[in-house]
Amino acid sequence: MTMRDTAVLVPVFVLAGWTVVVLLLVAVRRLTAGLPPSVYTQGEAPNVPPAVCLPNRNYMNLLELPVLFYVACLIAFVAVPVAPLVVPLAWAYVALRIVHSLIHITYNHVMHRFAAFVLSNGALVALWGAVGMGVF
């Protein structure tokens, strides 16, 4: 039996953990905003301050494209051996997603956030390419 390289799963757990951290931030910001729960019945109401709604939007971002990251890493894990570039690309993606989150939920400069987003998507595309080359 061949041993699987679990190194590709570490960035998966880190990004999943980061997603939980952002989810907890959503709860903290909502609970400490002093707003009635009714303002959240339809998502974010117009009177919800950015400091409260930005973590929620970022949390939603972390449940969108990262799905492709999780799938790519699981394919890489199952397709023994893991191609050499996969783990560094996975780490690059995770780092760039965390940078994107930090920009989004702190000072929210659109062009900085956009740069992190574009770079993370480039890492994701490269990750899929590396996984594909490893599989085929």
Tell me the per-residue pLDDT of 56-86, one tens digit each, with 9 for 90 and over.
999 999 999 999 999 999 999 998 688 889 9
Residues 15, 67: contact at Cβ < 8 Å?
Answer: no
DSSP state for residue 44 in the 8-state scheme: S
What torsion, rounded to 10 degrees, do the Cα atoms 102, 54, 93, 129 define?
Answer: -160
The answer to whether residue 1 is domain-embedded is no
Residues 77, 131: contact at Cβ < 8 Å?
Answer: no
List the CATH number of the domain containing 43: 1.20.120.550
pTM of the model: 0.93
Count the residues in the chain: 136
Tens of pLDDT, residues 8-26: 999 999 999 999 999 999 9
Total number of domains in the chain: 1
Give the structural domain span for 119. 6-135
The answer to whether residue 21 is domain-embedded is yes
